Structure formats: structure tokens, C-alpha cells
Structure 1
Amino acid sequence: METPWALIAKYLTNEVSESERAKVVIWLNSDNANSILLERLRSMFEIKHKSGVTDFSQFQQEDWEKLQQKTILAYGKEVRWLPVWKIAASISLIIVAFVSIIYLNKQKPLLEIATTNHTKEVWLPDSSYVLLNKDSRLIVEGTYNEEMRKVKLIGEAFFKVKSNPTIPFLVSSFEVNTTVLGTQFNVKAKADSLITISVLEGKVNVAVKNESQLLTANMSTIYNGNSLKLLANVDHNYLAWKTGVVRFKSQTLLEAVEFLSEHYSEPILLEKNVDPQMLITVELNNLSIDQSLDIISTTLDLEFTKESQEYIVNKKEE
């Protein structure tokens, strides 16, 4: 997709209309390299007064190159900046599918993205990063990046929010609102009666009805449809869908099987002759369901078979 140089200039000076802002978002999400380019241009823009450039309204590529030279003269060193086509050559293309992008007014979504049987990376207008899990939907509000950076989520997503103390970032999932300034966290909201928020780093405020909780790194809370409840033992596998790494440490076989069944979206059943309270400690690193069950079965002296559309774990025949 061709780089909209003049439009980027208007975007950096906050002079874009809503339809123009949406076009920048489309360009930003069309290639991972574009977010890197935008950050480099933003750095150059921030020193525009010292470089003597004040009018960005009709900027093109050659104008940015001239600005770069003025920046070198003003500061005695080069602003690190590479042409987008060179950056793009070294970074894999990220394809973002848009379910619908509505330009009519600020009350309607800026963009809406949905996934089915695969995950998807999304870059937001402020360079915040979102990884959508399978069967999830993300809606970006039309007023995003004005007084509030608001998105709606149904499903599951990992957020890496760019810090901005003046414009909070809010994730709305059914009744639950999660507000941050800049942090990394995961939201799982596949049903309105079971929503889990887990924080990797930073701080987030989780609010529902008249209740709120402040979470910091390595804390989780769950909303059960009635109230929020802090989890005493954080599930360290909450990012397994993102990393592909599953760890069980002195957990029961039943807990392991229930997690793997959801993780792989495959039913796994324990036969009655198998003790569900057997403990297991194991790490499964980017394995298929068959490989994972094979390791668990070998570790606990069990065996598994696949019958019809489900996996059966049984006691090994002597």
C-alpha cells in the first residue's frame, strides 16, 4: 500500500478528519513496517520548531528527507530513519482483516476486526498493539485517541498499550471496563458471566457496576456475573494461547486435561479407571494436542486414543 505522506503530516499535526484518520489506520495496519516508520516520522515532527519547519500540510517523501537533513544540521547527528520499503523488506507482512470500517460520524466505529480460527495482530492509531485470539472481535470507537482511547472486546486479546498519561485506554467487555494508561495485560471475555483480566506489567483498573479493583503485575481478577474476585493463584498459562507454551506445576490431571481441552478446542475425557487427582509437573512447548497427551500419558503411565471427535485418556493395559 502506497505511503500517504501528506495525510501522515496532517495526522501528526492532529488536523485530520475522522475519515482521514481511518485511512491512516488502514495504512498503519497494512504492514508492520508502517508503525515503525510512523514512530520515526513522529520523532522528526517533534523537533520541527528547532529545525525551522512549521508547515506540514503538503508534505511528501522528499519533504521528510529534507527535514531529516535539517535535523542533522540542528543536532549534529542523524535521526535514525529508513525508507519504508527497506524496513518492509526485513519484516514479515501482517494481514489484518477488517469486518467493517464506518466513516459516517464519531458515534460509529473507526474499525471493527474479527477472527475465526486464527489469531491476528492489530496496530491501533496511537501505535498500541493488540493480539486477537481465535473467535474474537475488536471494535475501535470512532472517537479513539481524543479524550479516551476506547475499544470493545468480545473474546480474548492481549494488549500492549502505548503510554499516554493524558488519554486513558479503556477496554469494554460486556459490563466490565478495564482502564489503563500504558501497560501489558490480557482480557478474556467470551461470555458476560465469566470475564478474566490478567496483568503482565503496569497497572490496570477493573470496574463493573459499583465495584472496582486495581491490579498490578502478576495479578488477575475474574467477574462471575455478579462481582469481581481477585484470584489468589494466578494462572500462569493465561498467555499460552499467545506464546504456545503450557506449564503445569503440581497440578491435578483433571486440571491439566480441562485446560488442554480448551487450549486445543478439542474434547478430552478421562475414563473412570483414571485417577483425576494424579499430580503432574511438565512443560509443553508449542506442541500439538497428540504430542502433549503423549508426554502426559507417558509421564503418568497412561495411554490415550482418539475416538470419533474426542480424545480418551485411559489406564495403560498391563
Structure 2
Amino acid sequence: MTNRTDALQELLEDPRFIAWVTGNADDLEDYWNNWAADNLMRRETLDQARSLVKAIEGKPIPVSDTHIKRSVERALQEAKRQEIVQPPVIIRPLYQQWWAVAASVLLVIGLGWLAFTIQTPRSIYDQKVAQVNHTGRLIIEVRNDTRPIQHVQLPDGSSVLLQKNSRISFPQQFRPDKREVYLTGEAFFEVMKNPAQPFLVYADELVTKVLGTSFGIKAYANDPAITVVVKTGKVSVFTQSDRQFTHLDSSRTLTGLVLSPNEQVTYERKESRLTRVLVEKPTLLNIPIEKQLFIYQETPIATVFADLEKAYDVNIDFDADVMAQCSITATLGDDPLIQKLTWICKVLEASYELKDGRIIVSGKSCQ
């Protein structure tokens, strides 16, 4: 595979891949995860191909063989011409070019020239993402199938630590009035503060709404309950079946069941009941960041960077010799990673950049 377009085409032409995505070859789970594990392009292309297959579930596509062949040739030529390296898989509206590529290639490989229909029931998460996709908004999906945690930076700078076997979707650009993300699985959030633009997480039946805080959510589709725990700030939670859902969802204030730090709420699916309790330590996901306060007193910068690497599962490159005498005194708190780095660099008169999945800090001596 020489580039992303060729890799995408090969996946969509592989019957084993189609069988795995459509739930007819669970025994291939390890094969495909290993195939993409150590190669960023493969992982992103696999996510994109899987999303393309999922996106046309249950949609009739009546076309002729001749039309299919010509469409494939034209679409792939155009895709190769416009090919760019992108971050996590982008789910484009159905009428855009990538859908034409996916639908055509899938049909060419023999999945049916009259229709491609999958009978497997769709999860609440998939339904919500499909609804947003049909509005024409560009949706990005990130899924973590292999790593213990994966740091995801949202369009507003907020941080998400996505647990293994979890997925999150969000628009390429948030709406002016609110920030909406969709989760299935487990994740820890550090939300950029903006009272004028509430932040909402739709996790199956439950909605978590914040203005800027840190909290964890555990919401697997097959679990009997959904749990939210607050580390800092306040959040409100309510169900999508609540009679006041429209008001709760659109309001710029925290309404519904409001939680404070060290409080946890559990939604029991069977009883459709919310239960709030006080917890001594908000460690729902049992990851380092839930216990880290990021309080520093003349702390060597190497130690600070090591804390950030551990908490966010990222790599920070800096010249340890040049910055050996640098230290900071600060409380970085619950702000997202990007904000923490901005503050650190401002204090040290340094700068940083994100390159190839790494954070590169350029600074000078503090002697």
C-alpha cells in the first residue's frame, strides 16, 4: 500500500474486512487490530474504511455494473489527486465523494448491485452519529481498539482520554451555541471553560452537560448502567427520555441533576433510574489523571513533563540538558493538556508544536 487511498481501496475490496466490520467474522478481531497496531496510517485508514461501511448500513444503492465500474475509476482518480494526510477518521455526509467511492467499491466486490443491507440493530451511539451525519455536518470519529488510553484533542482544545474499546465522535467544528460529542465506552474529559458554549456528552441514554470542568464517564452499550463521576467543577446529567429534555439540552445553565466534585451518578438502564452518591476518590476509570492534581512548587520541568506524559499518554520531546535548570511553581489543575502546555511555555519563555503525534518543546536555558 503506497498511500492512504490505495490502502482504503484494498480494505474495501477485502471480503475478510467486510465480514469483520459487519459482525460476521468476530474471530478476525485480533487480526485486524494487529494489522493496524504499529502503523498510524493503517490505523487511521482502517477506522475510515470501517466508518464508510457502517455509514451505508441499510441503504439501497440501485446501480448498474457499468456505472459502478466507471464511478470507481473516476472516484479513485479524484481521491488520489486530492489525497491529504488527515487525523482520525472523518465521516463525511453521504452525498460527498468518499461515500461514492465506498459505495461503488463495496458493490464491485460483490456485496450486491441492487442494495447493501445489514440487519444488525444499531446502537444508540451509532444512531445519534448517523443523525448528525445526515444533517451534512462533517463528523470525526476516534476509536481506541488497542491502547490502554488515547489522548484526543477536540476542536475547542478540550482533552479526552479515551479508554480501550471505546469510541468518540464530534463535529470538525463545534456550533456557536454548544459543543456536542458522542461517546460509547469510557473516557475522561477536561473541558475548556466557556459558559457561553455549553459542552454536552451524549453517552447512550444519558447526557452530561458542563461549562468547563473534569469528569469521567463509563457507558458501554451492553452494561446494565452508565456512570458519571466528577473530579472538579460541576456537571449536570439528564436522560434523553426526560420530559424536559429540550429545555435541559438547550439551556446555557446547568439544570437537571447537578453534581459537584467527588460525586457520582449511576443510571440504571433496567429501572430508568438515576442515583447520586458521594465518593471519597473519583477514580471511576482508574487512570493516573484522576489522581493527579498538577500542583507544583519549584518543580524541575523534567518532572512536570514526565507527569504530563504519564497522565495523557503522550510523548514530550525537549532538550533536557538545555532546560536542566528550569522549574515552575504553578497549579495547572483541570485545564486541558493544550492549556497546560501553553501556560508552561509562557512561564519558561518557550514554545511547543505538535508533530507526528509528538509534542516538541523548544526552550532556552534557565540559568
Q: Report the structure, 1 or 2, having the larger helix content.
A: 2
Could you say which structure has the greater relative contact order, defined with CA pairs below 8 angstroms and 6 or more residues apart?
2
Larger radius of gyration: 1
TM over 0.5, shorter chain: no
Please tell me the TM-score bracket, short chain as reference.
0.3 to 0.5
TM-score between both structures, scaled by the size of structure 1: 0.43
TM-score between both structures, scaled by the size of structure 2: 0.38
